[in-house]
A and B are shown apart, each in its own frame.
Chain A
């Protein structure tokens, strides 16, 4: 084997090995987090603190993004309906159903992935490059238990709560749009007629899954940061993409499971 073919195989192989290693470390991190939660090694005060940090600045962010999403979705669908049969009675119920099952948790998950995922990666990444994580290890404080578990629990709870809030915000903004632009009665719009228990379960499972995976992936990006302060910037950007993509993949998997089992 001459040098150029070796180089070729290395060039092809290296990214594959890197990706495999990254997935391995991510799943390892997830498993260790689950084990720590199962063993009840949880610092509740830190969980509350993290919940506050996650929730605090996310509320206005979710309000704006889901408010606009609710308005434009209702507007565009109503414009379509108007051209075919001007019967708007099912618009509200269908909108509320798909918000609960799909868009409220998923868009909330994406927003939290963006805002909180990048924040976690930056925070833990800078602790890694300044050797604070090593200092934790030397004191027998497992970085997973100490840093990731509280964030994972807080984030699960907060994504669930914020998803509920997102349903409210998008429903209200959609209802106002329906009423203002198409003269749809608010009572008609606000109906849970199409929503059943399955939709709520699917939406909740999505929220919890996003909430758990975001801190794991972002935290793992932070813990594997290398290359000094510049590395922190790269870990942060990597975390934004990986967490957002994880939300999309989980959305697909849970939707598919929901479709098959209901």
Chain B
């Protein structure tokens, strides 16, 4: 089911000031694999995701994407790699000076090579799929939190990226929309061969339906790495976190 390693972290550590936020992280994200990143709030998931995208530079260890160390590749190679990425930010990070349609179209326009009518068609299609057909010409400041999240989702996936990082895709969404979002994550994952996806979420019930493997981050370290079946044999904390939230989804600590 999973192929070559797309992203490899070796001994990665990141600190702010004197405090190490994450440390000694060894992690692989493989092609064709949908990886679930779980863990209590504030324990470093978002920081790790930023490291995987090269938005933050590790203070220790290295992050390699397709064999290249993100910390010392030249800007053109980085740009080449970034073209493969899709990133959903935890707090949306929508461009507040652009309309919803322009936000979603931005990655396509930036990448070039797609005609304007085709862009418009794809943007409209993606937004309609997410129930935002009406919101095309509105501005981010006029949207609710959940709507912003969905616009962010559309922007992250519009370029059909091969490496997609989702930071809490269902936060602040009602159950029906959450399910829709997770279905979109899966659809995106299978839309091409060998897509590598990482989903950070507290919504473990819905993750179980789609994820192939889980990594649990606890106090900045990898506490667990493996499929659901392996949890029983692992640290009891993992089981508690994983199964304890059964029936009470989104258990942010």
Residues of B contacting A73 with CB < 8 Å? none
A130 to B53, CA, bound (A): 17
Some 21 contacts from A to B, beta carbons below 8 A apart, are A130-B91, A130-B93, A131-B89, A131-B93, A132-B93, A132-B94, A134-B50, A134-B55, A134-B87, A135-B87, A135-B89, A135-B95, A135-B155, A136-B95, A138-B55, A138-B82, A138-B87, A140-B79, A140-B83, A140-B111, A141-B110
Q: What is the chain A residue whose CB lies nearest that of B103?
A: A135
Residues of B contacting A136 with CB < 8 Å? 95
A180 to B62, CA, bound (A): 74
Which of A127, A134, A141 meets B89, CB within 8 Å?
Answer: A134
B110–A140 CB distance below 8 A: yes
* Interface residue B106 (Cβ < 8 Å from any Cβ of A): yes
Residues of B contacting A134 with CB < 8 Å? 50, 55, 87, 89, 93
A140 to B54, CA, bound (A): 12
Which size class do B's interface residues fall under?
10 to 19
* Interface residue B85 (Cβ < 8 Å from any Cβ of A): yes
Is chain A's interface secondary structure helix, strand, loop, or mixed overall? helix
A139–B106 CB distance below 8 A: yes
Q: What is the chain A residue whose CB lies nearest that of B111?
A: A140
B55–A137 CB distance below 8 A: yes
Tell me, rounded to whole Å, the shortest Cβ–Cβ distance linking B51 to chain A.
12
Q: Which residues of B contact A (CB under 8 A)?
A: 50, 53, 55, 79, 82-83, 85, 87, 89, 91, 93-96, 106-107, 110-111, 155
B93–A135 CB distance below 8 A: yes
Tell me, rounded to whole Å, the shortest Cβ–Cβ distance linking B85 to chain A.
6
Given contacts A137-B82, A139-B106, contact A132 B95 (CB under 8 A): yes
Residues of A contacting B107 with CB < 8 Å? 139
B96–A138 CB distance below 8 A: no
A137 to B107, CA, bound (A): 10
Q: What is the chain A residue whose CB lies nearest that of B83?
A: A140
A130 to B50, CA, bound (A): 14
A-B complex: 9 closest residue pairs judged by Cβ atoms: A131-B93, A135-B93, A139-B110, A138-B87, A139-B107, A140-B79, A134-B55, A140-B82, A131-B89
Q: A130-B96, A134-B89, A135-B93 are in contact. List 20 more A-B contacts (CB 8 A).
A: A127-B96, A134-B87, A135-B87, A135-B89, A135-B94, A135-B95, A136-B95, A138-B53, A138-B55, A138-B82, A138-B85, A138-B87, A139-B82, A139-B106, A139-B110, A140-B79, A140-B82, A140-B83, A141-B106, A141-B110
